[in-house]
Amino acid sequence: MTDVIIAGGGPTGMMLAAELRLQGLHVLVLEKDTEPPKFVRSLGLHVRSIEVLDQRGMLERFLAHGTRYPTGGFFAAIHKPAPERLDTAHPYVLGIPQTTTDRLLAEYAAEVGVEIRTGCEVTGLSQDDDGVAVEVAGADAPLRARYLVGCDGGRSTVRKLLGVDFPGEPTRVETLVGELEVTAPAEEVQERMAEVRKTVVRFGLGPLEDGGYRVVVPADGVTEDRSVPPTIEDFRKQLRAYAGTDFGAHSPRWLSRFGDATRLAERYRVGRVLLAGDAAHIHPPVGGQGLNLGLQDAFNLGWKLAAQVRGWAPEGLLDSYHAERHPVAADVLENTRAQMVLLDPAPGPRSVRNLLSELMEFDEVSRYLTEKITAIGVRYDFGEGPELLGRRLRDVPLKGGRLYELTRAGRGLLLDQTGRLSVAGWQDRVDVVVDVSEELDVPAVLLRPDGHVAWAGEDQRDLLEHLPRWFGAAAG
């Protein structure tokens, strides 16, 4: 029997598959499409996702295909300098198209041994005490797995088959996005765009390296069937409406649309079936958080699900996936709702936008919003304890190297600056590194496999009380 079947071969699914393989599980990814999508929804990776890639040794291959940009200017496209001394070793946004991100993650998953089948659409499921039966279109018999994870997007079949409610608000504002060519000179494009963006922030023509343009323009209302892509004439009409010219738009490479619907699954787990990424939450793409949120879902879930399959997970560990990630998604939905209001060209929202722009001159405000968008401000509720508890730890330099180089195996990690602590009984799940860092002001930290601080201190008995919460009972 397969350990885990993942429905959906997008970035969330591939990241999760790779995490599960890191723990030695047999993983099968079922992707209904036979070819990767050509449209580019996401344009970059935020700080926390960059850290995640670094923690697993994948970052260099992404840096080779991307461009580093400052972290400021992402909240409602209000352009402000990034706060100084962000709590990260990677204070930048990595500009990289989603098509490249998808390809690199799929290549990595295949390298580590994930089985990937394309053209396989999940059509049904049933579960019992031992596993899940997954029905696939055209297959003679269901596939069996111990667990199934739906990473199959906002219209998730898995979520619908489970009967999980997806409450929220429908699309009220629609935006066209695509890549095409124009005949207008670059100077005219830049001049007209700058003028329009004084009042309409959801408008833009960005030059591509090969001479084309990425075009974003508000749509004329909301289409009844949003699965039908817009036409080049739809783009020309809206460009003329806002800029007074269609810039000679022609030769579209791909055309798409997105809305401002916000929905959040009521549950991330039903028995042996779980949801992650867009299958669990959808929201407007403002701030560029969607793909990043899905990657971070996968990073949180992977080690917990592997522990459950391996049999050492403490009670409640797998359920902590919902407990930790559901509030994070709810917060993203809230901030994207706020950003959409701030992008409204009406006088009232413009006044609020101007006021927020003034407030963002204060470092505390700018830092708070930047940490929110980049997800480095996330703190899981682990109860009372030091300020670090529940937060991810940045890549601190050590005397013998750097922290993230020690997390590549996806195990727990005790970083002990005292040299006196022990994880006897948990050596098969937790590594111990005795080293010091001038940037770490606690004697020792216990990190979960996702890099979040599960304990900090120097008392051996206190450490032994915390180890079972995240890593189960000690080995006999």
Contacts of 362 (CB under 8 A, 6+ apart): none
Architecture category of domain 397-471 in CATH: 3-Layer(aba) Sandwich (3.40)
Residue 311: the pLDDT is 96
DSSP code, position 167: -
Say yes or no to pLDDT of 302 above 90.
Answer: yes
- What pLDDT does 225 receive? 81
Burial class (CB in 10 A: 0-12, 13-18, 19+), 105: buried
CB 284, CB 259: distance < 8 Å: yes
At 246-298, the pLDDT tens digits run 999 999 999 999 889 999 999 999 999 999 999 999 999 888 899 999 999 99
Element (H, E) at 159: helix 157-162
| Domain 175-259 in this protein, CATH class | alpha beta
Q: Going along 75-162, which residue ranges are E strands?
A: 93-95, 115-118, 122-127, 132-136, 143-150
Reported as a pLDDT band with limits 50, 70 and 90, residue 74 is confident
What pLDDT, on the 0 to 100 scale, is given for residue 41?
A: 75
What would the pLDDT profile of 191-211 be if each residue is shown by its tens digit?
Answer: 999 999 988 989 999 998 888
pLDDT for res 210:
81
Q: Residue for token digits 């101007």?
A: 354
Q: What is the pLDDT of residues 210-248, one digit of tens each?
A: 889 999 999 988 888 877 889 999 999 999 999 999 999
The H or E element containing residue 243 is helix 232-243
What local confidence, expressed as pLDDT, does residue 332 receive? 97
Average pLDDT over residues 317-335: 98
* Ranges of CATH 3.40.30.120 domains, the chain: 397-471
DSSP 134: E
- On whether the CB atoms of residues 249 and 180 are closer than 8 A, the answer is yes
Other C-beta atoms within 10 Å of 35: how many? Answer: 8
Gap between the Cα atoms of 435 and 300, Å rounded: 26
Outline where 244-289 has alpha helix (H).
none
CA 450 to CA 52: how far, in whole Å?
8
Torsion of CA 155, 159, 160, 166, to 10 degrees: -80
pLDDT band of residue 364 (cuts 50, 70, 90) is very high
CA dihedral 134, 139, 141, 145 (to 10 degrees): -30
Would you place residue 398 in the very low, low, confident or very high pLDDT band (cuts 50, 70, 90)?
very high
| Residue 374 near residue 293, CB atoms below 8 Å | no
> Into which CATH architecture does domain 2-168+263-374 fall?
3-Layer(bba) Sandwich (3.50)
pTM of the model: 0.95
Residues of the chain within CATH 3.50.50.60 domain(s) are 2-168+263-374
For residue 191, what is the enclosing H or E element? helix 186-196
Ranges of CATH 3.30.70.2450 domains, the chain: 175-259
| 114 band by pLDDT with thresholds 50, 70 and 90 | very high
Phi, psi of 39 (to 5 degrees): -75, 150
pLDDT tens-digit map of 124-166: 999 999 999 999 999 999 999 999 999 999 999 999 999 999 9
Contacts of 263 (CB under 8 A, 6+ apart): 154, 166, 167, 168, 169, 281, 282, 283
Cα(446)–Cα(456) distance, integer angstroms: 6
Considering the chain, what percentage of its residues have pLDDT values greater than 70? 100
102 contacts 10 by C-beta, under 8 angstroms: yes
Q: Please give the pLDDT value at position 131.
A: 97
